Structures are given as structure tokens and as C-alpha cells.
Amino acid sequence: MPQSHPPTIAIIGGGIAGLTLTIALLKKCPDLHLTLYESAPSFGEIGAGVGFEPVMVRTMSLIDPRIALAFEKCSRGNTVTEPPRWFTVRVGDQRRGGKKIKIGDEVFVMPARRGPRGGVHRAHFLDELVKLVPAGIAQFKKKLASITEAQDGSGDAVLHFGDGTSARHSAVLGCDGIKARTRALVLGDEEAAAKAVFSGKYAYRGLLQMEKAVEIMGDVTPRTPQMFMGYHGHVLTFPIANGSLFNVVAFSSRPTWENPNWVVPTTQEDMLKDYADWTPTVRKIMASLQKPDVWALFNHLPASTYYTTKPLICLVGDAAHATTPHQGAGAGMCIEDVYILSELLSQCRDRSTIEKAFEAYDAVRRPRSQKLVRTSREAGMLWDFEGEGVDDDLEKLEENALRRMDWIWDYEIVEDLERAKGMMEGGSD
Ligand SMILES: Cc1cc2nc3c(=O)[nH]c(=O)nc-3n(C[C@H](O)[C@H](O)[C@H](O)COP(=O)(O)OP(=O)(O)OC[C@H]3O[C@@H](n4cnc5c(N)ncnc54)[C@H](O)[C@@H]3O)c2cc1C
């Protein structure tokens, strides 16, 4: 059976998952032949801010300290509170009356863990990652259409692209995001979990100069992360771009999403209707967002597997487990996937060991990443006064909120790697 020696790997998609995986594999498997195929004409990120917590930054360091340094370069200059805060939580919706709280004031603080953390501008972070990928690795305008198995008995994957070209590799790592073609190929086009489903939430996203935010909110508040909760919506703000920009993500709810496009332009008037009953501060923030877009938030139902063997394809990042952003950990899960998968692949010399690596990766990554999708959805409801048995009861809400991030933030990924390595070597889970 002819096989490529050493194996050749195709990575599909150059977002946070695809780029960090490329950097990881180039470092850990210097002999590996690797090509990254990206459908866009160049690398690029959509949206503005993305936040990472210390657990994820530690994992970046484990993959390659240069990734953590790239993050720190982009987050340096954000105000650091002592002790660190994930968000200062307030009620922003004036319909929530009651004696114990003053609308707009701090209700409780969600503490963060200590260590490098915070928000970065997506484009800046991606630019830093791109610098770590040598020329010649990435091919652009290569939109994956399908994958077939080579007919020569090698088991190789033949990739077919939208431009009519094809390429042959020992294995394919699908990092092609929430609408992943590789996901449909692994699960089957007809499988219910193959396509993402609407989560019931949508968001407006925008950026203000920090000076403008200071005008609206005063000198201190906009420089640290804030959450304004309300009925069927919440508004998050946090500094990015080394403290120079104020990132706004404002959520709202609707039962269905019919438009085939997930990002659609809207008017300021329509956007402000969603926050008609909110505090003047929230309304001023929203009114400052120019040219607003509505982003429909979709997520994946749990996939029954993250890999297939005929030919070898494995899903990574959002392609495997796209989530809503309500616990701020979707990109963090990409980083964790990359750590485990790259370490396991660094032990592989041929097709059969790659298959074992995929099996072990699937076993350790699927439960944790799918738990995030589920709990993130619940968190979105919690912040929107829709939490089951909680609604707008702020004491219950605080109690729930303070517990819900522990399993994400106090995680020892090295233990999962050891478990996965044990499985690969033949031990049971
Ligand atoms: C509003 C919002 C806020 C968020 N905030 C946070 C946060 O604060 N913290 C956090 O950890 N996470 C956050 N997330 C989640 C995070 O953005 C994603 O989990 C992460 O960016 C996914 O990265 P990815 O590389 O898997 O996918 P993507 O970034 O979607 O990259 C996929 C890549 O594949 C390419 N591609 C697609 N199809 C093909 C094809 N057929 N052939 C070739 N290439 C293809 C695309 O062009 C793209 O470059 C947020 C998400 C949203 C929506």
C-alpha cells in the first residue's frame, strides 16, 4: 500500500484554529509536509474584539510561547484591575425595578483568574500569528468543495477545490469554521448536526475610540470589562487594541432566523428599538455605533464524532464545536484543540498512528468542547434574565454566574494530554 513518508497534512482554513495549528505542527513536527488552504484571498478576521482568559493563554504557551507573546503584545495596555475581573455586572434595563439595586450600578463582580488575559483586536492578533507562518505554507483562494479517497489503496485524501484543482494528502485537519465543509464530510450532509442552528440570540458589534467611551461613561469604567444585563438582551464592553479602543457586543433575542445571511446591515433606529427601555448610558453607547450590522448567533448541535478514517479527516475549532460567545471561550477551545491534536500528531509516523491520534483527540476533546456549547447557551439566557429558575432574581443569578466558569478556567489540559497519549499507546480511557 503506497503511503506518503512522512505523512502530508492539509489544514483547511486559516482562522485562529488553522493558524495556531499550523504554527504548532511546524514546531512539533519539523519533518511534516504541511499545506494550509484558505478560501479567502488573504488571512483576515471578521468582528472586532476577542478575549482570552489565563487558562487559554497558558495553553498558548504550551503550544508555542510565541503565540502567548503575540497575545500579550496585542493585549498590553488594557487596564489591569487588582484583583482581576472578568466583568463588572450591572443591570442596564430600566424595567428591572426593585429596592435593593440601583439600575446601572454594580450588582456583582465576576472575578477572573490571575495571569495574562483580556481582550485583543482580532485582526491584530491574527496578524501576529501570520508572522509565525513561513512563506509557502499557505495557499489562498482554495475553497474546499469535497474530499474523496485515493483509488490506489493508499487511503490518502484527495481534496477538490472550487477552482477545479485538487491536492493529495495523508490526512486533512478541518479548521474551516462554523459553516465547515469538512464537518459535513465527516458527519454526512444529511446529518442534523452537520449544519449550525440558530441559538435564539443575535448581536450588534462595534468599536469606539476609548476617548469617546470615556465621554459617555467617565474615565474609569470603560477601561475595564462591563456587562449590562436586561430582559432578553445584554451588552458587553471591554477595552482592546492595547486600551485604545472600546469594544461593544450587544445581544438581543428572537425566536428564529430566516435570512440565509448571518450578518445583515440594520439601521440605528431599529437597533435602538432593542434598547428603548435601557439606561441612558447603554443607549448612548448604542447610539454611538456607526453603520450597525446584526450578527445572527448560530451554534452546533453535538456531533457524534470529530473524525472519520476513510479518508482521514479531523475537525478542529469551530468546525467541530461552534458555540455562542456567552462564556467568552470559543476561540479558547480552538487553542485547546490545537494543543492536544498537535502533541498527538507529533507522535505519528504513518496512517495507522494518525488514526489513533484522531481517536484519542476525539475522546478527550469532544465532551469538554460540547459542554461549552451547551453551557454557553445557558449563560446567554442567564445574562438575558431567561435563566431557568433564575429569571431576573439577581441573587440567584449571581450565585449561578460565580460557579459557572470554574470548569473552564481551572482546567489542567496537560492531564487530558496524558490521558490521550495513554489511549494512543493502547491503554483504555
Ligand atoms: C460575537 C462573538 C464574540 C466572540 N467572542 C469570543 C471571545 O471573547 N473569546 C473566545 O474565546 N471566543 C469568542 N468567540 C468565538 C471565536 O470567535 C471562535 O470560536 C473562533 O474565532 C473560531 O475560529 P476558527 O479558526 O475555528 O474558525 P474561523 O475563524 O471561522 O476560521 C475559519 C477559516 O476557514 C476558512 N474557510 C471556511 N470554509 C472554507 C473552505 N471550504 N475552504 C477553505 N477555507 C475555508 C474561512 O475563510 C476562515 O478563514 C466569539 C464569537 C462571536 C460570534
Q: What is the pLDDT of residues 36-74, one digit of tens each?
A: 999 999 999 887 899 999 999 999 999 999 999 999 999
Cα 44 to averaged position of ligand 1 atoms, centre (Å): 10
Query: Which residue has the least CA distance to atom 37 on ligand 1?
Result: 176
Q: Is the CB of 177 under 6 A from ligand 1?
A: yes
18 close to 12: Cβ distance less than 8 angstroms = yes
Query: Which residue has the least CA distance to atom 29 on ligand 1?
Result: 15
Cα 106 to averaged position of ligand 1 atoms, centre (Å): 32
Domains plus CATH for the chain? 8-53+124-196+303-381+407-424 (3.50.50.60)
HSE on the CB side for 284, CA within 13 Å? 11
426 close to 416: Cβ distance less than 8 angstroms = no
| CA dist list (Å): 188 to 95, 126, 180, 193, 306 | 46, 31, 12, 9, 12
Q: Which atom of ligand 1 is nearest to the CA of 182?
A: 41
Q: What is the pLDDT of residues 102-154, one digit of tens each?
A: 999 999 999 999 999 999 999 999 999 999 999 999 999 999 999 999 999 99
Mean pLDDT of 200-217: 95
Q: Is the CB of 28 under 6 A from ligand 1?
A: no
Task: Flag whether pLDDT at 270 surpasses 50.
Answer: yes
**What pLDDT does residue 1 have?**
44
DSSP-derived secondary structure letter, 278: B
**What pLDDT does residue 31 have?**
85
Q: Which atom of ligand 1 is nearest to the CA of 181?
A: 41
**What pLDDT does residue 47 have?**
76
Cα 45 to averaged position of ligand 1 atoms, centre (Å): 8
Task: Flag whether pLDDT at 322 surpasses 50.
Answer: yes
Buried b vs exposed e over 171-194: b needs ≥16 C-beta within 10 Å?
bbbbbbbbebbbbbbbbeeeeeeb
Q: Is the CB of 203 under 6 A from ligand 1?
A: yes
Task: Flag whether pLDDT at 307 surpasses 50.
Answer: yes
Q: Is the CB of 50 under 6 A from ligand 1?
A: yes
DSSP track, 320-361: HH---STTS-HHHHHHHHHHHHHHHHTT--SHHHHHHHHHHH
Q: Is the CB of 16 under 6 A from ligand 1?
A: yes
Q: Which amino acid is at 105?
A: D
pLDDT band at 290 (very low <50, low <70, confident <90, very high): confident
Q: What is the pLDDT of residues 213-248, one digit of tens each?
A: 999 999 889 999 999 999 999 999 999 999 999 999
Between 99 and 269, whose confidence is greater?
269
| CA dist list (Å): 262 to 191, 252, 290, 380 | 21, 14, 19, 18
Residue 43, SS3 per DSSP: coil
Q: Is the CB of 249 under 6 A from ligand 1?
A: yes
Can 90 be counted among the known catalytic residues? no
